[in-house]
Amino acid sequence: MVNVGIVGCGGIMRGCHIPILAKMSNVRIVAFCDVEMGKAKELAQQYKANAYADYREMLSRERLDAVFIAVPPYAHGFEVEVVEKGVHVFIEKPVALDLDTARRVETAIRKAGVMNSVGYMWRYLDTTDRALEVLKESGPVALVEGHYIDPFWFSPGHWWLSRGKGGGQVVEQATHVFDLARFLAGDVERVYGEFDYSLIGKYAPGADVEDCSITVLKFKNGAIGVITATCISRNTYNFTDLKILADKAVLEHGGHRGFLRVYRHNSIEEFRQTVNPYALEDEVFIRAVEKGDTSKIRSTYGDAVKTLEVTLAANESNRTHKPVELRL
């Protein structure tokens, strides 16, 4: 049995990871930790586990093989203490609010030699598998176009509304599109971003995150791209996608919508998602903890840091009104 602790008992854990882990025959959830003790106690009672408000106490009292972590971006950094105890980590995106924190955790993970995975679940879709296959036979990528279009849903006082806590729309939400662009089209070497803030105050007075953004990307392989994101939309116009124009085909990846369309001359193919990517990423990580085999993990912590670097560069470019060159 793999003994698992949970740090952060919010929506993504409750809606996805905890129910999946609870159904796995080789997993025992032994502890829940949240700064809001009531959340931890509620889940601990439901799953017959222990509850903690302090992760340090959880680490000292429990015999843990792995910890699943889902906390707001500003709360990261404590992972260093987790991995230094030899505990394997699954971390929800984004992995930090700044590169210094992310690289400090990355160094600690490398030194500890623990299994690590980050929750970029779109990488585990079978539509993504098919996209990779098509791109191998379709020649070089020329153009990438992505969207993260979301209606406003945040409650007053939510951490997401503060750039100092969440990083903004690009860093915290649209990160999935940026990551998929990197996974399918390759690493990015230059970023230019333009953001707008004109409507966010209407929805959330005092918020300082962008309500709309356009980020231009120059890929290392020569391709160019643009990713558009917003939290000011309608619930009737709400979607994610990534389009890739290659030499011999055009791909349209539906992201959350679970489809892939492949356009060739005189033909259009459509593939539908048949797997639960959240379940698959959890199963792959648990298997890695059991067997010591990381070959099936599709987003290591180090790779997720590269995605964070791209999104933080978009923030920096918007601030300075200049392109930002990335460290490759």
pLDDT digits (tens, 9 = 90+) for 120-171: 999 999 999 999 999 999 999 999 999 999 999 999 899 999 999 999 999 9
Structure tokens at 35: 């700064």
Q: Give 212-281 as a 3 state SS string.
A: EEEEEEEECCCCEEEEEEECCCECCECEEEEEEEECCCEEEECHHHCEEEEEECCEEEEEECCCCHHHHH
Give the right CATH number for 122-276+308-325 from 3.30.360.10, 3.30.450.20, 3.40.50.620, 3.20.20.70: 3.30.360.10
Length of the chain: 328
Instruction: Give me the pLDDT at residue 327, please.
Output: 82
Q: Above pLDDT 70, what percent of the chain? A: 100
Distance (Å, whole) CA 318 – CA 44 = 43
What are the residue boundaries of the structural domains of the chain, listed by start? 2-119, 122-276+308-325
Distance (Å, whole) CA 323 – CA 317 = 6
Cβ neighbours for 248, distance < 8 A, ≥ 6 positions apart? 137, 138, 139, 264
The pLDDT mean for the chain works out to 97
Same fold, 2-119 and 122-276+308-325: no
- For domain 2-119, give the CATH number: 3.40.50.720
Q: pLDDT digits over 218-249, tens only? A: 999 999 999 999 999 999 999 999 999 999 99
Angle at 258 between CA 301 and CA 309, to 5 degrees: 30
Distance (Å, whole) CA 267 – CA 45 = 54
Q: Are 114 and 174 in contact (CB under 8 A)?
A: no
Structure tokens at 82: 């987790």
